[in-house]
Amino acid sequence: MNKWLKWWSIFIFSIGGIVILLIFGTVLLFFNFKGSLTPDEKEEAKVLSQAEQYLQEKYPTMEYEISGVEYDKGSEYDKFDYAAVILNTETQNTFMVYENRHTRQMEDDIAFQELTKFIEQVKPKVYSYITETFGEPQSIAFTPSIDTPSSLNIKLNNKKEEINEEMFESFIDYLQHELKVEHANVTIMYGNEHWNKEF
């Protein structure tokens, strides 16, 4: 009887200990997660100060207002955790100034925004050219990038014998000289074949 009672007591204490540890661990995880969603006031003040200095040095004539801080709580941005949100009061365009987490240098996303806008403008012309030259494509993806050439990936429905290098080079020439695309990594895929060129 004593052995059974002793065994039962050890079992109850073990289960109780595990339950307490689980509750404690859950509470810690909750507060850790909640803390990660709350911006650090010191970091916000730091990025605002850095942004002010950066703007005065890089854009000394720009009229602007700092409208707030963007905190990357959901890991949406590759380059920063905190960014100052700036309103150019002349153009009414907003952009972000931040410390690049990879280079530790201050930068802004004006060039990226301009490139994104430019690509959106040329996409319909790319689609028209591809459709007229090769027929209706399966897909076209034109992805802007500042650090590396923007990528243009086109998937065609054509067979191998319907495509030649001259057609591909003519398309590259059209991108560079007609649409004024400065840098891109262009891939045209059809079946198991593809053409690729970076400029």
- Residues 124-174: pLDDT tens digits? 999 999 999 999 999 999 999 988 999 999 999 887 678 888 999 999 999
Neighbours of 73 (CB within 10 A): 11
3-state secondary structure of 189: strand
| Residue 35 in this model has a pLDDT that exceeds 70 | no
3-state secondary structure of 186: strand
What is the amino acid identity at position 182?
Answer: E
DSSP 8-state secondary structure symbol assigned to residue 131: H
| Residue 36 in this model has a pLDDT that exceeds 50 | no
pTM for this predicted structure: 0.67
Continuous segment of H or E residues that includes residue 11: helix 2-37
User: What are the structure tokens assigned to 38, written together?
Assistant: 């709350």
CA-only gyration radius of the chain, Å: 28
User: What are the structure tokens assigned to 78, written together?
Assistant: 């590759």
Continuous segment of H or E residues that includes residue 128: helix 110-134
